[in-house]
Amino acid sequence: MQISSMTALELGRKIRQREISAVEAAEASLARIREAEASLNCFVTVDEEGALARAAEVQKAVSSGTLTAPLAGVPVGIKDNMCTEGLLTTCSSKILYNFKPTYTAEAVLNLEKAGAVIVGKTNMDEFAMGSTTETSAFGVTRNPWNTEHVPGGSSGGSCAAVASGEVPYALGSDTGGSIRQPSSFCGVTGLKPTYGTVSRYGLIAYGSSLDQIGPIARDVSDCAAVLETIASWDRKDSTSVKREDCDFTAALVDDVKGLKIGIPSDYLAAGLDEEVKAAILKAADVLKTKGAQVEEFDLSLVEYAIPAYYVIASAEASSNLSRFDGVKYGYRAKEYEGLHSMYKKSRSEGFGEEVKRRIMLGSFVLSSGYYDAYYLKALRTKALIKQAFDRAFEKYDVILGPAAPTTAPKLGESLADPIKMYLGDIYTISVNLAGLPGMTVPCGLDAKGLPIGVQLIGDCFQEKKIIRAAYAYEQGRGPWELPAPACVAGTADAAGGNGGCADGGVRTAAGSGCADDGARTAAGKGGI
Amino acid sequence: MAKQYETVIGLEVHVELATKTKIFCGCSTAFGGAPNTHTCPVCTGMPGSLPVLNKKVVELAMAVGLATNCKIHQFCKFDRKNYFYPDNPQNYQISQLYLPICYEGGIEIETPAGKKIVGIHEIHMEEDAGKLIHDEWEDCSLVDYNRSGVPLIEIVSEPDMRSAEEVIAYLDKLRLIIQYLGASDCKLQEGSMRADVNLSVREAGAKEYGTRTEMKNLNSFKAIARAVEGERARQIELLEEGKKVIQETRRWDDNKESSYPMRSKEDAQDYRYFPDPDLVPVIISDEWLEEIRARQPELRTEKLLRYKKEFDIPDYDAGILTGSKRMADIFEETTALCGRPKKVSNWLMGETLRLLKEEGMEPEELSFSPENLAKLIRLTEDGTINQTVAKEVFEKIFREDIDPQAYVEEHGLKTVSDEDELRRVVEDVIAANPQSVSDYRGGKKKALGFLVGQTMKAMKGKADPGVVSRILTKLL
Ligand SMILES: [Zn+2]
């Protein structure tokens, strides 16, 4: 079996058993990247030298027996909105085209402690704003299944890199479906954890109350193993949750007898592609055959999720992105007169269209006179959506539905009609608004040969339930073939108030949400 | 008859809290580091960094709130105030708008016009900004983020003050309360306490407030008093001329004793406040609140009463001693060491105040140790040194905090109590001043004083004037 066809856990096992060295694994990943990048463009930055040096270092630790973690020596791609010390971190934006962070994101540090070898930073929609990875300032990423199609977004680079065998797994971030939707489009497995499970420290914020980092991999087992590695309670992130149940691989059990699964009939209504619908219902049948109780129900409020999401996420983004001003780092306009002109020109030239659209939208909904009508109303809607899910989870263990209304659209189709693109987020964003965990597992192909993913949603902190359901489904579904490496190369020329689950008092162990004076450690190195 | 005007004043007072670390990161708040050395990704607004609230900031804010009779929002939140300026690395300041930690309080002030309560609308927590430094040589601006993220509280009064005297009385009281709490050193010159004055005038008896202006850059109580008078006069003049007062922020120039409108930065700016999604709400339990309440130190009013009762210190003196936290601390610590409250009070009320005035210093700047003052008092009590020498030694203590015992030994300043030695000196003085001697004998009693003085001079002050006088009388 080729290294590029192995799952992360398979490769990790072979590295631990000394069948493959970490350096060989890194070389195989880099070779695959060299082969496929011309047609796919999954990476903004590939760190060949760093990866090989790191792999040699990890191999030493593996050989000496000091590193025994399941992912030790396995190459990984990191979405380019997570800070990596000394390694370019651009958010796929011109405004951060030269930005090298002085510190590494907590989730990435957790991976590094477990022996991960970072091969590069994956492409994304600029600042994670988009559903196609076409808004990147560094070129579009193409779908490995058909390079005329988008990979989805915003974690399109991570998903396409996994689907094409460039890396066995990658990290993505999910603010409104940015892990689950591209996973569906690329035929890979992606998991967005409960808000607060993975530290956001070092994740360059889009919508702070919605953002979560999560794994993207070839199968459910890899996702569980990666989440187990990156989840941590982090004092540097006030919204981080102390959880005792992060042994997610313990949920890899092929048993769903008695598991209650609800399918929101609202999700199967008009707007859902018939082929996608059929594939989703077929996936539900697989679980039913294995003993799960499956029924449809009315979730309600589904149509309000999109406006609420775009108001909240854009509002937070308008403020989060104000620090990119050309003063301290990143892009600064060449010519300007005075401070105001420098701000205006640097930001006008540095940000892309979609980002500017959302900054303007967000600034508008927060401006005086509109705050109550838009922002507060959106927060109330968010609370109601959470309540609707609470009611649903009184009856069901898992909610099952599509991750997107269609399979991957063609390049160029979506950006022409942003509203239509926003509507494509309908099945994913309410999960972010309610702070819930959600997962996409490949469940079929449409007539064009493009993958379809089934989404499994759990109640807050119930990742184990969805992992169990996903694993059981995967076993029932049978092997899932990703596009063969040769096939990809051959087509080269063809080519977001706080997140829902718990209030502040419950989230922080101290109850007060603060740290002791002088007791905190300085986070990372000195600034500028 | 000329119209009578009433001045209406409210204050926004920013106070830097005395925490070891910044409000949202672990960086030091110490003054004087090289630029950008007390910084980290959080306080320089690096992408991906997140704030974590310093618990001590909440406790100090609560303490000030309780001491100023405020109610406490036991569920309070932080909001982002969005505006672009390079001293603010994120281009938003984390502050509190919707649910400030303290609200609806007030303190009593006393002026010649009488006693009154000045209401406190709210106290909120926020972060300080960095400093912009213009490099003339390179013609560029540089930013130092060492102060970025230093914790502040902003105390917003009601528009309850009517004169400069009331403003000063309010600030003085506020400063003392905060100093007593140990929440801040409240130095206006150094910027650890900053006051912005909101002022309007209206015809006496009018129900509606006039249009107000906000005055910034006030670095001393005197500047504040002058700015209040100046702005009052400016607004009345405008009204008298039939013109309108424009709502604006003005900058006070204390050298020119006038103000000018600042850049229109504040004008109609929309800060787009919204709750900071990176911070969770601050939940203050009843237990935590009670803990802070129980920890509140004795404040000035209580201390003043206790000094009168416990140490029998007169009203006026007790007022001075408790008028500065530092002074009160020295008084209490020295008294505890030497057990002579009256003597301690005398040294503080007399020589200390004299030297402070001479040096143009504030009582808060006193740096001598209670141990050395206590030793000095013991040296005078047991007659080792006389009052003249003691004053000289005290100056040394005041300036250099020397050990009086060692100093007296080293400089041979002990009072000479050996009568034989003294008699020899007195005999010399008598021999050298026949005129004075005959004057004294002729009934001019004043001449004795001259002779005592001459003897003291000869003894370089190291004698007890009483003993000298006795010996002189006997010999004459
Ligand atoms: Zn810092």
Tens digits of per-residue pLDDT, A77-113? 999 999 999 999 999 999 999 999 999 999 999 999 9
Are the beta carbons of A452 and A443 closer than 8 angstroms?
A: yes
Residues of B in contact with A102 (CB under 8 A): 41, 46
Spell out where A282-425 has E strands: 293-297, 398-402
Residues of A in contact with B39 (CB under 8 A): 526-528
Q: Does residue B184 surpass a pLDDT of 90?
A: yes
Helices (H), A368-519: 377-395, 418-423, 429-433, 463-477, 485-490, 504-507
Q: Which residues 375-394 of B have a C-beta within 8 angstroms of A?
A: none
Q: How confident is the model at residue A188 (pLDDT cuts 50, 70, 90)?
A: very high
Question: Is B26–A325 a contact, with Cβ atoms under 8 angstroms apart?
Answer: no
Q: How confident is the model at residue B267 (pLDDT cuts 50, 70, 90)?
A: low
Dist. CA B44–CA A402, nearest whole Å: 42
> Considering only CA atoms, which of A469, A451, A452 is closest in space to residue A260?
A469
- Which of B46, B90, B270 has the CB atom closest to A101's CB atom? B46
What distance in Å separates residue A402's CA from the closest CA in chain B? 29
Mean pLDDT (whole number) for B151-162 = 98
Q: Which amino acid is at A64?
A: S
What's the pLDDT at B465? Answer: 79
Dist. CA A292–CA A278, nearest whole Å: 19
Residue A125 Cα distances to A65, A158, A352, A414, B207, angstroms: 40, 11, 10, 13, 58
- For residue A99, the surrounding DSSP H or E stretch is none
State which residue of chain A sits closest to B56, comparing Cα positions: A517
Mean pLDDT of chain A: 92
Percentage of chain A exceeding pLDDT 90? 87
Q: Which residues 265-294 of B have a C-beta within 8 angstroms of A?
A: 270, 272-275, 277-285, 288
Q: Does residue A507 surpass a pLDDT of 50?
A: no
Looking from the CA of A354 toward its CB, the CA atoms found within 13 Å total 27
What's the pLDDT at A498? Answer: 36
Residue ranges per domain, chain B? Answer: 5-288, 298-411, 419-475
Q: Does residue A374 surpass a pLDDT of 90?
A: yes
Dist. CA A373–CA A377, nearest whole Å: 6
Using the Cβ of B56 and the Cβ atoms of chain A, whether some distance falls under 8 Å is answered with yes
Q: Does residue A497 surpass a pLDDT of 70?
A: no
Q: How many CB atoms lie within 10 A of CB A303?
A: 11
Dist. CA A297–CA A399, nearest whole Å: 10
pLDDT one-digit tens code per residue, A251-284: 999 999 999 999 999 999 888 999 999 999 999 9
Higher pLDDT, A75 or A516: A75
User: A-B interface: how many C-beta pairs under 8 angstroms?
Assistant: 191
pLDDT one-digit tens code per residue, B272-306: 999 999 999 999 999 999 999 999 999 998 999 99
Q: Does residue B115 surpass a pLDDT of 50?
A: yes
Using the Cβ of B41 and the Cβ atoms of chain A, whether some distance falls under 8 Å is answered with yes
pLDDT one-digit tens code per residue, B27-71: 999 988 999 999 999 999 999 999 999 999 999 999 999 999 999
State which residue of chain A sits closest to B92, comparing Cα positions: A319
What's the pLDDT at B344? Answer: 95
Residues of A in contact with B19 (CB under 8 A): 517-518
What's the pLDDT at B386? Answer: 85
Q: Which of A58-67, A211-220, B366-375, B450-459 has the lowest mean pLDDT?
A: B450-459
Q: Which residues 233-292 of A have a C-beta within 8 angstroms of B?
A: 235-239
Q: Which of A52-56, B22-26, B161-165, B438-442 has the lowest mean pLDDT?
A: B438-442
> Considering only CA atoms, which of A294, A257, A310 is closest in space to residue A419?
A310
What's the pLDDT at B1? Answer: 53
Using the Cβ of B467 and the Cβ atoms of chain A, whether some distance falls under 8 Å is answered with no
Cα A117 to ligand 1 centre (Å): 29
Cα A523 to ligand 1 centre (Å): 8
Q: How confident is the model at residue A485 (pLDDT cuts 50, 70, 90)?
A: low
Q: How confident is the model at residue A495 (pLDDT cuts 50, 70, 90)?
A: very low
Cα B43 to ligand 1 centre (Å): 4
What's the pLDDT at A499? Answer: 35
Are the beta carbons of A267 and A405 closer than 8 angstroms?
A: no
Helices and strands (DSSP H and E) totals, chain B: 16, 17
- Which of A363, A508, A515 has the CB atom closest to B272's CB atom? A363
- Which of B44, B55, B288 has the CB atom closest to A516's CB atom? B55
What's the pLDDT at A293? Answer: 98
What's the pLDDT at A490? Answer: 45
What distance in Å separates residue B39's CA from the closest CA in chain A? 6
- Which of B58, B270, B281 has the CB atom closest to A504's CB atom? B281
Spell out the residues 6+ positions from residue A397 whose beta carbon is closer than 8 angstroms to its own. A259, A260, A261, A458, A462, A465, A469
Q: Which residues 104-143 of A have a C-beta within 8 angstroms of B?
A: 105
Residues of A in contact with B41 (CB under 8 A): 101-103, 523-525, 527
Are the beta carbons of A209 and B277 closer than 8 angstroms?
A: yes
Dist. CA B49–CA A83, nearest whole Å: 9
What distance in Å separates residue A206's CA from the closest CA in chain B? 10
What's the pLDDT at B94? Answer: 98
What's the pLDDT at B409? Answer: 86
Q: How confident is the model at residue B423 (pLDDT cuts 50, 70, 90)?
A: confident
What's the pLDDT at B215? Answer: 94
pTM of the full structure: 0.88
Residues of B in contact with A525 (CB under 8 A): 40-41
Question: Is A514–B91 a contact, with Cβ atoms under 8 angstroms apart?
Answer: no
What's the pLDDT at A223? Answer: 98
- Which of B43, B275, B285 has the CB atom closest to A497's CB atom? B275
Structure tokens at B320: 């001075």
Dist. CA A213–CA A199, nearest whole Å: 8
Q: Which of A112-126, B27-41, B439-453 has the lowest mean pLDDT?
A: B439-453
Percentage of chain A exceeding pLDDT 70? 92
What's the pLDDT at A523? Answer: 36
What's the pLDDT at A155? Answer: 98
Are the beta carbons of A477 and A470 closer than 8 angstroms?
A: no
Spell out the residues 6+ positions from residue A101 whose beta carbon is closer than 8 angstroms to its own. A83, A84, A85, A86, A87, A89, A202, B41, B46, B47, B48
- Which of B50, B86, B92 has the CB atom closest to A322's CB atom? B92
- For residue B474, the surrounding DSSP H or E stretch is helix B465-475
Q: How confident is the model at residue B449 (pLDDT cuts 50, 70, 90)?
A: confident
State which residue of chain B sits closest to A235, comparing Cα positions: B52
The DSSP line for A132-157 is: SS-S-TT----BTTBTTB---SSTHH
Question: Is B273–A366 a contact, with Cβ atoms under 8 angstroms apart?
Answer: yes
What distance in Å separates residue A231's CA from the closest CA in chain B? 17
Percentage of chain B exceeding pLDDT 90? 72
CA dihedral B287, B293, B297, B302 (to 10 degrees): -150
Report whether the peptide linkage leading into residue A154 is cis, meaning its omega lies within 30 degrees of zero. Answer: yes
Looking from the CA of B289 toward its CB, the CA atoms found within 13 Å total 15
Mean pLDDT (whole number) for B449-469 = 82
Residue B62 Cα distances to A348, B70, B281, B295, angstroms: 43, 9, 15, 11
Dist. CA A248–CA A245, nearest whole Å: 7
Query: What is the topology classification, in CATH, of domain B419-475?
Result: Arc Repressor Mutant, subunit A (1.10.10)
Are the beta carbons of A479 and A458 closer than 8 angstroms?
A: no
DSSP secondary structure letter of residue A511: S
Mean pLDDT (whole number) for A195-224 = 98
What distance in Å separates residue B17's CA from the closest CA in chain A? 12
- Which of B58, B91, B92 has the CB atom closest to A514's CB atom? B58
| Residue carrying structure tokens 């609308």 | B121
What distance in Å separates residue B54's CA from the closest CA in chain A? 5
Using the Cβ of B90 and the Cβ atoms of chain A, whether some distance falls under 8 Å is answered with yes
Question: Is B282–A508 a contact, with Cβ atoms under 8 angstroms apart?
Answer: no
**Catalytic positions of A, please?**
79, 154, 178
Structural domains of chain A in order of their starting residue, each with its CATH number: 3-260+402-495 (3.90.1300.10)
Dist. CA A294–CA A287, nearest whole Å: 8
Cα B292 to ligand 1 centre (Å): 27
Question: Is A520–B21 a contact, with Cβ atoms under 8 angstroms apart?
Answer: yes
Residues of B in contact with A205 (CB under 8 A): 47-48, 278
> Considering only CA atoms, which of B69, B276, B58, B461 is closest in space to residue A315?
B276
Mean pLDDT (whole number) for A195-212 = 98
Q: Does residue A527 surpass a pLDDT of 70?
A: no
3-state secondary structure of B137: coil
Using the Cβ of B159 and the Cβ atoms of chain A, whether some distance falls under 8 Å is answered with no
